[in-house]
Structure 1
Amino acid sequence: MQVTVWYFDGCPNWRTAGQRLRQALDEVGRGDVPISFTPVHTDAEAAAIGFAGSPSFTIDGADLFDTAAPAGTLACRIYATPGGLAGVPEVSDLVAALTKKVTS
């Protein structure tokens, strides 16, 4: 399984995203899976890869949260969480999404 956090350097949330993703992977029994952190440097690159905003999570190239349309620019991504909109999903949201992707 290839797990990637996509981000741009100005994103204030990508490090927290990586920490929460690591915790979620541990919780679903996949603590052995490495996380790749891949920066997106330009709007052109964002458009070319269908970047949905920072941070974004992919599993084997598929977006973990299929709800966002690609932003195509270096923009922050917003996630719906139990506590309201946030720049990073909660660990429980990541666990639920990982469970769905890994078992489907």
Structure 2
Amino acid sequence: MAMLVQLLTVPHCPHAEPAAAVLRQALDEAGLTDVPVTTVTVDTDEDATRLRFLGSPTILINGRDPFPGAGQPPGLACRLYPHPSGLSGIPPINPIRQALRDAPGTAPEV
């Protein structure tokens, strides 16, 4: 099974590029340099609901969000991620690394 990695963003999201860099770093560190990241622009409420989009940027690895937002409704919004120093619009790398370790078809030495 090929790994599907997606970065979902709203148009002109200022955190999309930094989030893509963090995601690429995690993939490269995991030895998954050949896995592409597909960017998906979410610009309607219908798409947000269909994709279970909890805000921009959202990362999906094989359809799973490494940052589950229990109880959060999907919608066109900015997304904030908890960091030790506070909230940021850029996701932290450790949950991405863990999601890659848990994804089918990845090497265990991530």
TM-score in terms of structure 1 length: 0.84
- Are residues 54 and 64 of structure 1, via their aligned partners in 2, closer, same or farther at CA, if it must alter by over 3 Å? same
Identity among equivalent pairs (%): 40
**SS of the residue 1:63 aligns to:** coil
Q: Which amino acid aligns with 1:37?
A: T
SS in 2 for 1:75: coil
Change (3 A) 1:83 1:96: farther
* Larger helix share, 1 or 2: 1
Q: Which has the larger radius of gyration?
A: 2
Deviations 1:35-84, CA, capped at 9 Å, x for gaps: 00001011222122221111111111111222454532210111111222
The amino acid that maps onto 1:62 is R
CA deviation after TM superposition for structure 1 residue 93, in Å: 4.1
Q: Equivalent residue for 1:37?
A: 39
Match of 1:20 in 2: 22
> Contact conserved, 1:13 with 1:55, CA < 8 A, in 2?
yes
Over 4 Å off, 4+ runs? none
Pairs aligned (count): 103
Tell me, yes or no, if structure 1 residue 11 matches structure 2 residue 3: no
CA distance in structure 2 between the partners assigned to 1:100 and 1:60 by the alignment: 10
User: Following superposition of structure 1 onto structure 2, how do residues 61-72 of structure 1 map, counting pairs within 5 Å?
Assistant: 61-72=63-74
**1:85 alignment counterpart:** 87
Decide whether aligned partners of structure 1 residues 69 and 39 sit closer, same or farther in structure 2, where only a CA change above 3 A counts.
Answer: farther
The runs of 5 or more residues in structure 2 that have no matched partner are none
CA distance in 2, matches of 1:25, 1:39: 21
CA RMSD of the aligned region, Å? Answer: 1.9
Normalising to structure 2: TM-score of the pair?
0.80
1:59 corresponds to: 61
